[in-house]
Structure 1
Amino acid sequence: MNTTNLTYIYAVTQPTLSLANSLTTLHGIAGASLRLLPPTPDAASPHAKDTQLVFVAADVPEHDFNEAALKAHFEDLDWLEDVARTHHDIVQAIAAHATVLPLRLATVYQDDHSARQALALGRPAFAESMDQVRDHTEYGVKIYLTVPTEPDLDPPPAEPRRPTAGSGKAYLRARRTQHHAREAVHQQAQHAAATIEAIAARHTTWRVRHAPQRGALTGPEENVLNDAYLIPNDQAEDFQNAIDDAAQGFPDLRVEVTGPWAPYSFVALADAPDLDTHEPPP
């Protein structure tokens, strides 16, 4: 039985020989081969910048990526994790060879022709974003703290055993000590955040503040800072070294630098133009 395919778009980029060679060794979702799609020449805007742009594309089965299927799949965490990991790996591989604008997960078009029309339609905005992130890389900085636990003391005993004055005072002293310890750690985290911001001002061109992570992603620690920075490539090493040096002054915190990443946090156009496309549910 023949399988109807849709055209899945991973990213916008500029074609280079090294990128074209690398794509021959990569495989997309469901093992599909990757290809470069230029815009349709007849639909190109006469006001577009003279920047050659292409989509990185691959086939995906229509029965898995049509609108109804995606609504169901986006409730399947195993399926979603596998697709998201493949999407991310492809984008990161592209970033090793060319400037890249990652597109939203599950951006699909009816066929290559529709995708090429959409690229032509979005080309001016894509070219502007490309200029903003060219020769830059995204890095993340996170601050974690371990919140002091409740004092390992029993509260003053209730009747019928009469508590002594000493036991009640000791319990209250322990609670105050624990409260002061929590305050001290949070104050240290605020100081660390201000220090990192000052370092970033010297080395980065753009910051995005993400919400702190919660739950299983942080384990027993509390994430109090989760920022992304767009850094010129020639400043990346100095930035990382400065953050590592500053972290030594905050022994009660864990400061983590992540990256290098493709500029996920700094691409204003998360979606390609909506032209004959199946969009994932919100």
Structure 2
Amino acid sequence: MSSTAEVAAEESAPATGVWLHAVVRDVEPATLAGLAGMGGAPVRAVAGAGLVAVVSPAPLDEYGEEPLRHHLEDLAWLERAARAHHAVVDALARQGPVVPARLATVHTDDERVATSLAARRAELSATLIRLTGRGEWGVKGYLVPGAPVESTAAQDGGGVGTAYLRRRRAQLTARDERQQGASAAADAVHDALCEVAVAGRRHAPQDRRLSGASTPMALNGAYLVDVAALRRFTDLVDTLGDRHPGLRLELTGPWPAYSFVAERPAGAVGEPR
């Protein structure tokens, strides 16, 4: 029999939702053991429609729709949440194909999770088949500052002011030509990599404050690559780096296939607007 104090504590406790990390075909209990989800809580499996969702508890006073709307504007909170979410997805991806959930996909309870699995069964199953034996690789291309481009303008006479304007015009022309050259090189690199990859996507270049690079990013590509074609893909990245010296190419991965899964379905309580 519960005491009055215990009943009051239960009534005052915040409702707990379910943060969706990813969907897999199946998962061994040993894989989930020791994995920490949101807020360090243990993860668990929710089965439905022949699939398994890997989730962690999400108190709705922090992960509900209104709190999330504010949290997603807090870069420090967002980074912590993204790291916790990715750690689970990455661990699952090491065991086999995984469909990562978009960040901040929160359901009210396990029943809603199972319902979502049933509603999306065909799509999720097809995605898991498509991702089997494949990984996502990232290729970023950063502008390499080159030698100044000489101006082709006529070197007519003039005073100090004219000379300054001529130099300034030459600097702007050289900068524009470097940027145009980097853009064309990024297009060529992406097209070549897509010929080897199963699929490719270009994301918006990252700001230098996020990339940590000292020069602008001209290419931010993601590529779904067959394991059997990986050596050919990585060799091609090296070849393209030599072919386009105006870009410094950086290869990262493998990653869970965030770039090659469908957008989150409606019905989650924590969808950023």
TM range (shorter): 0.7 to 0.9
Query: Of 19, 27, 31, which aligns to 2:36?
Result: 27
Tell me the equivalent position of 1:85.
83
Do the aligned partners of 1:148 and 1:178 also contact (CA within 8 Å) in 2?
no
> How far apart are residue 56 of structure 1 and its match?
0.5
Q: How does 1:129-278 map to 2 (within 5 A)?
A: 129-146=127-144, 165=158, 167-168=160-161, 170-218=163-211, 219-268=213-262, 270-272=263-265, 274=267, 277-278=268-269
Instruction: Give the partner amino acid of 1:60.
Output: A
Long gaps (5+) in structure 2: 1-8, 149-156
1:149-179 CA-partner distances (Å, limit 9, x unpaired) = 99xxxxxxxxxxxxx9463454344334423
Tell me how far apart the structure 2 counterparts of residues 231 and 148 of structure 1 sit (CA, whole Å): 32
State the secondary structure of the residue aligned to 1:79.
helix
Tell me the equivalent position of 1:11.
22
Tell me how far apart the structure 1 counterparts of residues 101 and 24 of structure 2 sit (CA, whole Å): 11
Q: Structure 2 vs 1, CA of residues 184 and 177 (structure 1 numbering), >3 Å: closer, same or farther?
A: same
Q: Structure 2 vs 1, CA of residues 174 and 137 (structure 1 numbering), >3 Å: closer, same or farther?
A: same
Do the aligned partners of 1:144 and 1:224 also contact (CA within 8 Å) in 2?
yes
Tell me how far apart the structure 1 counterparts of residues 30 and 37 of structure 2 sit (CA, whole Å): 15
State the secondary structure of the residue aligned to 2:104.
strand
Instruction: Give the partner amino acid of 2:30.
Output: N
1:72-95 CA-partner distances (Å, limit 9, x unpaired) = 322322222211111112111111
Q: Structure 2 vs 1, CA of residues 187 and 271 (structure 1 numbering), >3 Å: closer, same or farther?
A: closer
Tell me the equivalent position of 2:70.
72
> How far apart are residue 126 of structure 1 and its match?
1.0
1:33-82 CA-partner distances (Å, limit 9, x unpaired) = 1111111xxxx4xxxxxxx4210011122221222222232232222221
Instruction: Give the partner amino acid of 2:192.
Output: I
> How far apart are residue 129 of structure 1 and its match?
1.8
Q: Structure 2 vs 1, CA of residues 253 and 54 (structure 1 numbering), >3 Å: closer, same or farther?
A: same
Percent of paired sites with the same residue: 35
Tell me how far apart the structure 2 counterparts of residues 249 and 272 of structure 1 sit (CA, whole Å): 42
Long gaps (5+) in structure 1: 45-51, 151-163
Do the aligned partners of 2:204 and 2:220 also contact (CA within 8 Å) in 1?
yes
Do the aligned partners of 1:34 and 1:58 also contact (CA within 8 Å) in 2?
yes
State the secondary structure of the residue aligned to 2:96.
coil
Tell me how far apart the structure 1 counterparts of residues 146 and 160 of structure 2 sit (CA, whole Å): 22
TM-score (norm 1): 0.79
